[in-house]
Amino acid sequence: MEERASLLIVDDERGPAESLRMIFKPSYNVFTASGGPQALEILQTTPIDVVTLDLRMPAMSGIELMERIKAYDADIEIIVVTGYSSLDSAIKGLRYGVFDYISKPFDVPQISDLVRRAVARRRAKLRTRRMKEDFLANLSHELRTPLSAIIGYSAILAEELQPVVTPEQRNALDRIQVNSIELLNLVEGVLLLNALDAGEITLNIRPFSLGETVTRAIDKFQPLAHQKGLLLRTELATGALSAITDEEKVERVLWALLDNAVKFTDKGWVAIAVRRAPQPGAVEIELTDTGIGMQREEIMRALEGLSQADSSARRRFRGLGLGLRIATRLIELLGGDLRVRSEASQGTQFIVTIPARAGAQNTPLH
């Protein structure tokens, strides 16, 4: 049996808000807010299914609050209950996916039916979301097991048959290994992104040397960069610098950005610089390449993930386009910020700022 749905009533007029609360209290978990700031506080601490929203309120307009709610969770249904409406507000409401409008004074059967249908649509969206998450998790787990076996056995074959295989056979074994690892990385990426979107990833905060973490990430991509004839440069801050955050998550961000840079750069260089950020208690990681670059629309699509930025010029590059989306979600989890500057054929610059509580007693970067 499903739990009772939760309804948030946002209205600065006490009379209409109290009337709605009394109407829906027997059937729903009802919360009330007299304005936008209070409504946002409730959303941060309480799962809400449907919001009834007045448009004219002090401090924060209904349209602004609508935008904030949809940015927080696009599947929350919003019913506008107002004595004031205009074509402009209706157009903005449609843009943010408002479920419906109803005017004050409202008709009780009508608004009851609207809320009932809004709850049904919200529940349907949640079921679809859970089905997608479960499918991706199961798919990733089922693929990971046979891929690990292929990688393990091909490595054993390559080692055991080293003295007797021909160069062509050796090349075939190497290709099995390389392609299996690439496919496993894609599966791991899908699994990680699914866990991030489901809120199942936690942080392990501890002090570590940021220089050592960067060096490991550089070493991981040095063979591929060498194979493509790319110069992989590092510029690590002089003096003492360490960080207190989740080292594993920071390293995964570096992997994603380096993978993107090396993949989309055919000639020239990839450079990574690490320094203290202008704001206290934060570090800044800058990664620049001389690759094919991106236009503004391509940047937005790439950060959304699950697709490459372009289906023609970039189609020769393999992958699902998960890397930048994973990096974005991990940086959000760390409480950081990602800025991207890029132009087509002019390379790309990523600047990551991460709260890292860099202290005075730090380990020097290497």
DSSP secondary structure letters along 208-273: E-HHHHHHHHHHHHHHHHHHTT-EEEEEEPSSB--EEE-HHHHHHHHHHHHHHHHHT--SSEEEEE
Residues 26 and 145 reside in one and the same domain: no
Tens of pLDDT, residue by residue over 127-172, are 888 887 778 777 777 888 888 888 888 888 888 888 888 989 888 8
Residues 247 and 343 reside in one and the same domain: yes
Range of the domain at 304: 206-355
Residues 225 and 159 reside in one and the same domain: no
pTM: 0.60
Q: What is the CATH number of the domain that holds 24?
A: 3.40.50.2300
Residue type, position 338, single letter: L
Residues 189 and 270 reside in one and the same domain: no
With a cut of 80, say whether residue 363 has pLDDT above it. no
Contact 56, 84 (CB under 8 A): yes
User: Which of 71, 106, 141 is the last residue before a domain boundary?
Assistant: 106
CA gap 301, 156 in Å, rounded:
41
Using a 10 angstrom Cβ sphere, with 0-12 exposed, 13-18 middle and 19 or more buried, the burial of residue 165 is: middle
pLDDT band at 257 (very low <50, low <70, confident <90, very high): very high
CA gap 252, 135 in Å, rounded:
24
Q: How far is CA 33 from CA 8, 22, 42, 69, 362, in A?
A: 7, 15, 8, 14, 46
Residues 33 and 102 reside in one and the same domain: yes
Residues 277 and 326 reside in one and the same domain: yes
366 domain-assigned: no
344 domain-assigned: yes
- Give whichever of 164-178, 297-311, 318-332 has the largest mean pLDDT: 164-178
Task: Supply 291's token pair.
Answer: 């690759």
- Report pLDDT for 84: 62
Average pLDDT, the chain: 82
112 domain-assigned: no
Look at the chain and count its residues: 366
Residues 350 and 214 reside in one and the same domain: yes
146 domain-assigned: yes
Q: What is the CATH number of the domain that holds 323?
A: 3.30.565.10
Residues 321 and 184 reside in one and the same domain: no
Residues 234 and 309 reside in one and the same domain: yes
Give the number of domains in the chain.
Answer: 3
Residues 145 and 47 reside in one and the same domain: no
Tens of pLDDT, residue by residue over 46-60, are 999 999 988 878 778
